[in-house]
């Protein structure tokens, strides 16, 4: 197992802002996807929506909102973990860190 020398990796700029952006991006993309799905269902399958409305209780909608919040939170936690210098150094070796591989000292 190789040791990752984190002293050579440039620090991540604005790690907290990156987490906030990740939460907002994942929540917004989930909402847009759900809105698109709802729009599709309204246009193409109104009978299906009527059937679902009769079957699903209103509490399911609250669970849907909770699921979107949980997705945003998990995305933020993962972004925060990826901002840890050792994790960033590992990811940078594969070209997916926050520092371009070309900026690494040779």
pLDDT per residue as tens digits for the range 26-81: 888 888 888 887 777 777 777 776 777 778 777 777 777 788 788 878 888 888 88
| 18 within a domain of the structure (yes/no) | no
b/e map 60-94, b = 16+ CB within 10 Å = eeeeeeeebeeebeebbeebbebbebebbbbebee
- Split at pLDDT 50, 70, 90, the class of 98 is confident
| 84 within a domain of the structure (yes/no) | yes
Domain containing residue 89? 23-97
| 3 within a domain of the structure (yes/no) | no
Number of domains in the chain: 1
Claim: this prediction has a pTM higher than 0.85:
no
| 8 within a domain of the structure (yes/no) | no
Integer Cα distance of 19 and 103 in angstroms: 23
């Amino acid at each position: 197992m190789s040791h990752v020398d984190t002293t050579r990796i440039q620090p991540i700029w604005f790690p907290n802002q990156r987490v906030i952006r990740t939460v907002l991006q994942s929540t917004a993309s989930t909402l847009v996807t759900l809105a698109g799905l709802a729009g599709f269902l309204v246009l193409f399958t109104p009978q299906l929506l009527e059937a679902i409305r009769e079957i699903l209780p209103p509490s399911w909608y609250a669970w849907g909102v909770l699921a979107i919040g949980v997705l945003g939170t998990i995305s933020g936690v993962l972004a925060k973990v990826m901002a840890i210098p050792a994790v960033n150094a590992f990811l940078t070796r594969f070209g997916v860190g926050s520092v371009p591989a070309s900026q690494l000292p040779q």
